[in-house]
Structure 1
Amino acid sequence: MTTGATIDLASKFAAFSDHWRPRFAAQLNGQDLRLVKVQGLFPWHSHADAEEMFLVWRGVFRVEFRDRIETLHPGQFIVVPRGVEHRTGADEEAEVLIFEPSEVINTGDAEVSEFTAPQGQTI
């Protein structure tokens, strides 16, 4: 992560291939910009103290709430309010930018599992 330098998203996404393991691309004002590749379904969870913003770079990405499903395409984003249970998914691989506070664990209040990303992985 280099501040004050241009970041090329295509090359950053090309640098890794695993799913559900966010990489830290930048930090600003206590927030992380995390890049993640997704495919399949992520566990249900919530974040009591933080909103999350998901911005689709490539592919089709879903945010599922208990009462509805939002489907996002490249260039679209959604903000999940704090405390709202949700899960994310993609039938085919998608690339997504996540904006959230630096201290947020990606699996929120769900039990630690293979989906829980190691903290501090940069790209």
Structure 2
Amino acid sequence: MSEMQRVDLLPLAAALPEAWRSTVAARLPCMAVKVLRMDDAAYPEEVHDYEEALLVLEGCMRLQWSDRTESFHAGELCVVPPGLAHAVAPGSQGTLLILEPASAGG
């Protein structure tokens, strides 16, 4: 019989030694579930060839793409489409959950 896995994400993120360094909280056959701390600093622009879901668990993430910046707050999910260059603007703080394909290497 299989067991369910419980992962307490906020303490896991709080224990990370550095902001913006994610850790894999769980692996599914097709997805990596990662968590990280945001610390008010910017995170440089990146682009992926896959969809990426960003869920703010606590705090606020300020996401930049094209010519706009939008804030996402605790409980809000942002799905970034493949090929869209995006960056995290200064002033982002709290805990972020990232869902990406397992094949992304996370």
- Length-normalised TM-score, structure 1: 0.75
The residue number in structure 1 matching 2:91 is 91
Runs of 5+ unmatched residues, structure 1: 106-118
- What is the deviation of 1:55? 0.3
Residues 86-114 of structure 1: CA deviation (Å, up to 9, x unaligned): 10135153210000012326xxxxxxxxx
* Structure with the largest fraction of strand: 2
Distance 1:84 1:102, change over 3 A: same
- Length-normalised TM-score, structure 2: 0.85
The residue number in structure 2 matching 1:65 is 65
The residue number in structure 1 matching 2:42 is 41
Equivalent pair of 1:36/1:97 in contact (CA under 8 Å): yes
Identity of aligned residues (%): 31
For these two proteins, the number of residue pairs brought into alignment is 103
Task: Measure the CA separation in 1 of the matches of 2:30 and 2:8.
Answer: 22
